Amino acid sequence: MDSEYDVIVVGGGAAGENAADRAVKGGLTAAIVEKSLLGGACSYWACEPSKALLRPGTALHAARRVPGSREAVTGQLDVPAVLAHRDEASSHWDDSGQAQWAEGVGIKVIRGTARLTGARRLWVTDDDGNHFTLTARHAVVLATGSLPVIPKVPGLHNVRVWTTPDATSTQEVPESLAVIGAGVAGAELAQAFARLGSKVTMLARGSFLSAFPEDARNLVAEGLRADGVEILEGVSPEFAERTDDGAVRLTLPGDRTLKAERLLVAAGRRPALDGLGLPAFGIEPHLLRVDESGRVQGLSWLYAVGDCSGGAKLTHQGKYQARITGDAIVARSRDELDADVEPWSRWARTADVLAVPHVVFTDPEIASVGLTEEDAWEAGIRVRAVELPISVAGAWQHAEDYEGWAQFLVDEDARTLIGACFAGPDVAELLHAATIAIVGEVPLERLWHATPSFPTVSEIWLRFLEAYGL
C-alpha cells in the first residue's frame, strides 16, 4: 500500500466521499481512512433508513385523504414489510457497493482509524491492528461526522437507551417508546414508530421543533398528536431507572413517572473530533473553525467538511461543503487560488450562511431555507414577512383536507427573497424553487414572470407575490 497521497480524507461518509471524489476528478490522488461502513451514517443509520421507516405511513395516510383511494384502503401498515423496505434502503448494512464505487473512481479506501501526528502526517491503525504512517502532499480533510449528545440525567448511564442508529436499525417495534428530545430526528422517529404501532411520548426540554416558526411546528405537532404521540413541552426527566421487566422508568417534574419499553435519546449531536490529535496543533475539538473554503483556521493544509466542521448537520450540506473544499484543494495545488475566496465562487461555502435547505420529513412536513426573520434583523436587513395559508387549487387536489402554511421573507431594499418556510403535506417539493430564488438573488419583479403550473401546490408562489403587492 502506498504511504503518500495528494489528499487524505479521515472519514468515509457522504462528505468524505465527495471530498475525495472531487480531488480525484481534479487530477490528484486520494485516500479515505474509515473505521466503519463506507457511506457513513446517512446511508445506514440516518437519512436513508429513517425515511424508509416514514414513507410507508405517509403514503398510506395520503391515500386515505383522497376520495376514491380512501375507499380502497382496507388494511394497516405491514410492519415486517416496512422493516424489510428499510433494510433494502440501508443496503442491509453492507458497504461493498460503496467500496466498489470508490475503487472504480480511483479512491484508495483504508479501513482503520487515524490521528494527526504532524503537518500532513497521520498515524493509522488498521482493522488488523497494524500501525503505519500516511502522508498527504497537499491536504488532510477531516470528515468524521458527529456523535449523539447524551443528556446528564441521573441514572441514565445505568439504563439501556437507543440513540438514532439503534432506532433506525431495529428489527422490532417496541410496544411503547419514550423520546428525549423534540428536534427533527426525535419528531421523525416518534411519528414513524407511532404509525408502526408504538405508544410514543416525547419530552421537549423547551418547545417542540423550536428551530422553526410557531405556525409551522404547530401543524406538525397536530399531525403527531393525531397519530397518538403525546408531546410534553418544557419537560426534562429528573431520573432514569430500569424496571424489573427490563423497561425504563423516567421520573418527571411534579412526581410524574413515565414507563416505556424503549427509551430513545435524540437530544442533538456534537462534532466527532475526539482522538484526532487536534490539541497538539492548538485546536480544541469543540472550537474547530473553518473559512469559506473549509480550511481550518491557522493551518494551511488542514480542512474539515460535514458535521465535524460545524454548522448545519445535514447530509446534502456536507456534500456541498465537500465539493467546495475538494475543488479548493485542487486549485491551491495548482497555485490557482490564494488564501482568500470570493463569496459564491466555486471555492466558497457561502450557502452555509445564506441558503441552507432543511426538511422535517414528518407528515405534514416542514421545509425551510435561508435566513429566519430574527437572523435578518440581526444582520441589519430590512425584512418583510409575508405569511399565508397554503390554500390553492393544487392543495385541494392533493388532499381533501389539505392544511398548510407558508412564510416568505423579503429583503425590502434589494427586493429579493432571503428566506422561506413551508409546512404541510409534501411541501419539501416546494423548497428547491425557494433555494434557487435565494441563491440567484432573483428580483421579485423577475420572479413575477415565473408562472406556477395549475393546479399545483406551487401556486402558493403566485399567492405570495400577490400578497406582497405585485
Bind-site residues for FAD: 51, 144-146, 307
What's 232's DSSP letter? E
Q: Among 268, 242, 241, which residue's Cα sits nearest to residue 185?
A: 268
Within 292-364, residue ranges assigned H as helices are 315-333, 351-354
Question: CB-side exposure of 423: number of CA atoms within 13 Å?
Answer: 19
Question: CB-side exposure of 237: number of CA atoms within 13 Å?
Answer: 28
Q: Among 418, 462, 411, which residue's Cα sits nearest to residue 440?
A: 418
- How far is residue 265 CA from its own chain's centroid? 17
Q: How many residues does the chain have?
A: 470
Pair 114, 124: CB distance under 8 Å: yes
C-alpha to C-alpha distance for 347 and 293, rounded to whole angstroms: 5
- Residues flagged as binding site: 51, 144-146, 181-188, 268, 307
Please give the grid coordinates belonging to residue 26: 481534479
Residues 6+ apart with CB under 8 A from 47: 315
- Residues flagged as binding site for NAD(+): 181-188, 268
C-alpha to C-alpha distance for 358 and 230, rounded to whole angstroms: 24
C-alpha to C-alpha distance for 409 and 418, rounded to whole angstroms: 6
Residues 6+ apart with CB under 8 A from 255: none
Pair 451, 437: CB distance under 8 Å: no
- How far is residue 373 CA from its own chain's centroid? 22
Strand partners, 370: 419
List b or e across 330-364, with b for residues whose CB sees 16 or more CB atoms inside 10 angstroms: bbbbeeebeeebeeeeebbbebbebbbbbbbbbbb
Pair 177, 200: CB distance under 8 Å: yes
